Structure 1
Amino acid sequence: MPDPAQQVRDWLATYDAPSASVADLLCDRHPRDHVALTEIGTDLAARDTTFGELADRSAALAAGMAELGVGRGDHVATMVGRGTDAAVCALAVWRLGAVLVPLLTAFAPSAIAHRLTSPATKLFICDDDQRAKLDAGPDLPAEAGWPVATTGTAPLRDGDHTLAGLMEAGAVAPAAAVAVGGDSPFVLMHTAGSAGPAKGIPIPVRALAAFHAYHHYGLDVADDDVYWNTADRSGAYGLYHGLISPLLAGQRTLHLNAGFDPELLLDVLAIHEVTNLAASPTVYRSLRATLKTLPPEIAVRNLSSAGEPLGTDMLEWARDVFGVPVRDHYGQPELGMCAGHPGHPDLAAEPRTDSLGTALPGWRATVLEPVADEEAPPGAFGRIAVDAKASPLMWFTGYDNAPTSTAARFTPDGRWYLTGDTGTRDREGSLYFSSRDDDAILTSGYRIGPFDVESALLEHPEVEEAAVYGVPDDLHGQLVAATVVLREGTVGDDELAESLREIVRNRFATHAYPRRISFADQLPRSPSGKIRRSRLGPPRA
C-alpha cells in the first residue's frame, strides 16, 4: 500500500479524471458476485444484494428514468429509507450522469419545497408513505414540473410511476454508465445555518477521493469487516459513508431499514457480528443508558463517532464496555471528514479524550486568529479553518446560487475555508473544539438551522417573534429550544406550546420541533438588531 500522500494522489488521479463515471466507480468495476450491501428489517432478517444485482437493477431503472426525460445534469430528488432501494435509485441517477438530491424523510412539504427550487429537477422518487407530502397545497403547486415514482406497491395517483414499472420498461435496453468527469456534480446536498434558508452544496465527482480517504484511513474499514454506519442515508455522514464510500471501496455494509432503537441496535451488533461501527454521539449515549454489560457475542474492533464532540465521559465509558476506544472524527457537509483520530494501523494512535484529533491525510487544518487571517500560535483561541491551498482533498468551492454565503466561508484570498467553529490547537496539531459561531444546533446527529424552525413558528397566528437555539442535553447533545414573543393579548401556556411544536412538525420536519419553549415580552438584540441567542438561557421545560 502506498504511503498516505501517494495514495491520495492516486485516488485523485482516478476520481478527478475526465473519464470518471460514478456508477462505474461505485458499482460496475467490482466483482459481480461480491455482496454490496445487506438490508436488515425490523425482524432482523437479512437480505444480501450483490454488485451484479445492483448493476442490473440500476441500469434498468436508469433506462426507465431516461424515458421520462432524465439525463445528464438533471436533478432527481429522493425521499427513500435505508436499504437496497436507496442504493439502486442513487446508482440509477448517477448512471445517467444526473444529480442526486437526497431529502430527509422527516421533512414536511415546506422544507421539501425550499430545497426543490431548481428547474433542473426532473423526477421525485419517494417511499409510499412519503407520497402524500408531495400533494398540491400551500407549499407545492399542482403542476410541480416533475413526475413522481414510488418505491412500493401502493395504489398510484394519476401520472405516477413505480420503481418496478420503470425497471420493467427499461429492462429491454439497460442504460450504460455515463462518464461525467471529476468536475461535474453528482450530489446536491443541503445545509442550513442561522441567517437564511437551506443552501445547496454541489458535490463534484472528485470529492470521491476525500470520501475514500476517510473510509480507509479514518474508519479503517477492512475487506473482512462487517461495517455499519447507523446515520440517515439522506444526511451527509450517512450518505457519504453509509452508502457512497463502502460502494466505492467495494466493501459490504449493513443497512437497517428501521427506526432507531438501542435494543434493536444491540441485536444487530450481535446477530450480524458487526466489527466496525460508525455512529453519532446520540447512539452511543443511548447505548450507555440501555447497556449494563456487553453481551459476549458482540466483538466490535473499531468504533467511530462524528457530528459533535463525544465528551470525555462517553469515551471512557465506551472503552470500559467495548474494550476499544471510540475514535472521534470532525467534518462538515461541505468537506466530508477532514480531521480526527484515524483508525488505520499505520496512523492510529491513542485518542486524546479532549481533542478533535489532527488533520487526516489529504487535509491541513489549523486555528486562525479571531480577527486576522493568520495562524494563531499553539494554545491560542481562534477560528478553526482548513487550508484550501494545502489540502489536495478540498472539493468545496461554493454554495449553489448563494455567493454571499460562499464568500463568508472563505478568506478574501481564498486560502482558508472557515468552518464556523472556534477552538485551539496544540504544538502537535491536535484541534480542540470550543463552540460554533453560526448558531447551528446539533441534535441526535442532525444539524438544524434556527432559521427553518423560526420560519415555521412565525406561521402561527399568535406569534410575533421567535428565537430558536440549542440547549445542552445528556442524551441528544443539544435540544432545540425556542423563546417566543406572542401578539398582544395572547397568553402563553402548555396548550399553545404544544400547538407551536405541532406547526414545526408539520411545516418543517418531525425531528426539529422545539422540545422546550418559553415565552417572553421581547428578544435580546444587538444594536444592529441581530438576536443575541447567547443571552437566551435554558427555558423552562
Structure 2
Amino acid sequence: MIAALLASYDVPDATVADLLCDRHDPDAVAFTFVETDGATRDVAYGELADRSKRLATVLATRGVERGTRVPVLMGKRPELVVTLLAIWRLGAVHVPLFTAFATGAIRMRVESSAATLVITEPAQRVKLDPIAGVDVLEVGPALDRLIEHSEPFAPSVAVGGDGTMILLFTSGTTGRPKGVTVPVRALAAFHCYLHYGLDVTEDDVFWNAADPGWAYGLYYGIVGPLACGRRNLLLNAGFTPESTLEVIKALGVTNFAGAPTIYRALSKSGEFAPLSLRRGSSAGEPLTPDVVDWAARALGVEIRDHYGQTELGMVIGNSWHNDISKPLKKGSMGHPMPGYSAGIVEGQIAVDIPRSPLFWFTGYEGEAGKTTERFTPDGRWYLTADTGHVDEDGYFYFTARDDDVILAAGYRIGPFDVESVLITHPAVADVAVVGRPDPEGVRGEIVAAFIVLADGANPGDELAEELKRLVRDGYSKHAYPRAVHFVDTLPRTPSGKVQRFLLRQR
C-alpha cells in the first residue's frame, strides 16, 4: 500500500484540490459540522468543489497565486474548508492560525510567512487590526455574494509532489516557533496514518476533536480525511467534557481521536456507561497509564497512544488496523507506523530516513542552523530531540524532550515517568514535573512537581509529603519530587502541551 500511496501523491502534475476534493463522489459527505446547540450540517464534496472554485477566483483578484502564503484565522466552520481548498487550487500555501491566539502570536506568523492577505471570520477580525501592512478578507454575507457571482476558477494550479501546501509553525514548547513546510507528497503519510494508525473505515463515524490550527487537527482532522474520502465531524465550539460526551452519544461516534488532556478531563468528570466507540486514539503528549485503565472501564474501549511531531506527522503508534495491531503495553507509544523505521540515536528517538519512504520533512523555513540540528552528520537519521528507549519486543517509550530531562545526582530522570505516578493520586487533577537547580548545590538538579488540585482537595505540607512518598515508595527513591508546588493552572501552549521551560523559570 505504501508504494501505491506514494505513486498517487508524489507526482509532477499533482494538484492539491483534485487529490483532496475533485476526485471524490460529489454527493458524498466530506464533513459534518456541529454547532454549540447540537445542530448539524452535512457538507458534500460537490459543494466544497463549487464554492472553493469560485472563492479561488476571488482570491486571484487579490493577488493570490502559486507560492503565495495565506494565513487563515477561522474556527471549525464550513468556510474554513472552502477557504483552504481555494488556496490550494491556486497553488498557494496555507498558514494556519489558531483561534485562541492573541495578536502577538498571529503577528509573528503573518510576518514570518511574508503574508500580505489574511482570511478570517468576524469574531476574530479585531485581532488583526494592530497588524500593519496586511489586507484582511472576512467571511460573511458580503463575501458570500461575491463568491456566488464569481466564475469557477479552472484549471487548478499543479505544484507537484514537492510543492509546498502548508507552512505550519511549531507550538513553541522549547522556544520560538519554527516554520515547517509541508509538501504535497506528505499526503501519502497522512492517508497511511488514517488507514493503519486510526483504522478509519467507510462505516465509521469518525471524530478527530483536535483543532486544525495545529498539526494533529489539520493533518488528520481535515487534510487526511479529505485525502481518504472519510467523513470527519467538526465541532465549532470549545472543549468541555459534557459537550464531548453529548456529541459522541448524539451522533454515534465510533472512532474518536484527541489529545490526552481531553481524556484526562473526561476521566475526572465522573463515571459513565460505555459508549458507541470501537476505536479511541490519543496524540500530542504521552498518555499516562491511569487514563488507559480508566478508558477500558468507563468508555468500553482501549485508548491507544500515538507519537509524532509537526515536522513528521505521526510516525510511531499503537496502530489499530487489524493487519498490524499489537497488544498494548502500558506507557508505550507502540511501534513505527508502516512507511517508517525508527531507532534510538544519541539517546533520542530517531527516524531512519533511507528506510522511511513516507518521511517528508526537509527543514525549517529560513532556519538552516535549526534544520542541521535535526539530522545526523551523515544525513541518515532525523533526530526528534525526544529521549526514549526501545524494549526487547520493539515497543518504543517516550521519556522527555531532550531539554526536559532532569539530571539529579548523576541520574537522568524523565518527567513523564514521575508525572504518571503523581496523576494517580485522587487529589491531583493535573501535574507537570521539571528540573530545578539544587539549592544545596549537591545534586545538580532536583525534581520539582507543579500540582493542580482536584475540586475539594486541600493544599499543604501534609499532601505534599504524601505525594513525595507516592513517588518514592511506588516508583523510585532517586526520582521523588523534593519540591512540590500547588498552582491554579499549568502553562500550556494553545495546543495543550505543557511549557516546562516557563516552570523552570519560576
TM-score range, shorter chain: 0.7 to 0.9
Alignment of 1:290 onto 2:303: no
Cα shift readout 1:100-154 (whole Å, capped 9, x = no counterpart): 0001111111211111225752421111111111113xxx22xx1x32111235x
Match of 1:94 among 88, 94, 108: 88
> In 1, are the aligned partners of 2:25 and 2:46 still within 8 Å (CA)?
yes
SS of residue paired to 1:438: helix
What is the Cα deviation at residue 512 of structure 1? 8.4
Alignment partner for residue 267 of structure 1, among 246, 253, 256? Answer: 246
One-letter code of the match for 1:101?
Answer: V
Task: For 1:432 and 1:122, locate their aligned partners in 2 and report how far apart those are by CA, in whole Å.
Answer: 43
Q: What SS does structure 2 have at the residue aligned with 1:97?
A: coil
TM-score, structure 2 length as denominator? Answer: 0.80
Q: Which of these residues, 160, 163, 182, is aligned with residue 143 of structure 2?
A: 163
Q: How many aligned positions are there?
A: 436
Q: Secondary structure at the match of 1:396?
A: coil
Distance 1:399 1:510, change over 3 A: closer
2:56–2:152 contact (8 Å) kept in structure 1: no
> SS of 2:403's equivalent?
coil
Q: Does 1:147 align with 2:135?
A: yes
Say which of 358, 371, 381 aligns to 1:406.
Answer: 371
SS state at 2:277 partner: coil
* Offset at residue 419 of structure 1 (A): 0.6
| Distance change in 2, residues 1:111/1:416 (3 Å) | same
Mapping 1:111-150, distance limit 5 Å: 111-118=105-112, 120-136=114-130, 140-141=131-132, 144=133, 146-150=134-138
- The equivalent residue for 1:44 is 38
Trace 1:1-400 onto structure 2 (pairs within 5 A). 7-118=1-112, 120-136=114-130, 140-141=131-132, 144=133, 146-153=134-141, 162-170=142-150, 172-193=151-172, 196-294=175-273, 298-369=275-346, 382-400=347-365
Distance in 1 separating the partners of 2:272 and 2:396: 33
On the 8 A contact 1:40/1:47 being kept in 2, the answer is yes
Q: Does 1:428 align with 2:408?
A: no
Q: Measure, in 2, the Cα distance between the counterparts of 1:29 and 1:514.
A: 40
Distance 1:321 1:299 in 2: 12
CA 1:207–1:44: 2 relative to 1, 3 Å: same
Give the whole-Å Cα distance in 1 for the aligned partners of 2:338 and 2:501. Answer: 36
Residues 10 and 410 (structure 1), Cα distance of their counterparts in 2 relative to 1, 3 Å cut: same
Change (3 A) 1:97 1:510: closer
Q: Secondary structure at the match of 1:121?
A: coil
1:527 — aligned with what?
none
Q: Which amino acid aligns with 2:374?
A: R
Q: CA offset at residue 251 of structure 1?
A: 1.1
For residue 93 of structure 1, what is the amino acid of its counterpart?
I
C-alpha spacing 1:165/1:439, structure 2 compared with 1 (3 Å): farther
Task: Report the Cα offset of residue 391 of structure 1.
Answer: 0.6
Residues 62, 175 of structure 1: 8 Å contact kept: no
Cα displacement string for residues 406-445 of structure 1 (whole angstroms, at most 9, x for unaligned residues):
01111111111111111110133211111112359999xx
Which AA in structure 1 matches 2:296? R
| Residue of structure 1 in register with 2:408 after alignment | none
TM-score, scaled to structure 1: 0.75
Q: CA deviation at 1:322?
A: 2.1
The CA deviation string for residues 208-253 of structure 1, in whole angstroms up to 9 with x for no partner, is 0110110100000000100000001111000000001111111111
CA contact (8 A) 2:178 2:365 kept: yes
Paired residues of 1:70 and 1:122 also in contact (CA < 8 A):
no
CA–CA separation in structure 2 for the residues paired with 1:89 and 1:35: 17
Question: Which residue is equivalent to 1:459?
Answer: none
> Is the 2:71–2:97 contact (alpha carbons within 8 Å) kept by the matching residues of 1?
yes
Distance 1:470 1:169, change over 3 A: farther
The whole-number CA distance in structure 1 between the counterparts of 2:74 and 2:198 is 25
- CA contact 2:164–2:184 (8 Å) conserved in 1: yes
1:511–1:240 distance in 2 versus 1, CA, 3 Å: closer
Superposed displacement of residue 474, structure 1: 8.2
Q: Helix, strand or coil: the match of 1:317?
A: helix
| CA contact 1:69–1:122 (8 Å) conserved in 2 | no
- The alpha-carbon deviation at position 510 of structure 1 amounts to 7.2
Q: Is the 8 A contact 1:106 1:511 kept in 2?
A: no
Matches within 5 A, 1:491-502: none
- Which runs of 5 or more structure 1 residues have no equivalent in the other structure? 1-6, 154-161, 370-381, 444-449, 451-468, 476-496, 516-531
Aligned equivalents of 1:535, 1:63: Cα separation in 2 = 48
Determine the C-alpha separation between the residues in 1 that align with 2:453 and 2:315.
26
Relative distance call for 1:192 and 1:325 in structure 2 (3 A) is closer
Unaligned runs of 5+ in 2: 406-414, 420-433, 435-447, 455-486
Deviations 1:20-53 (A, max 9, x none): 1111011000000000000000111110000000
2:286 counterpart letter in structure 1:
P
SS at match of 2:226: helix
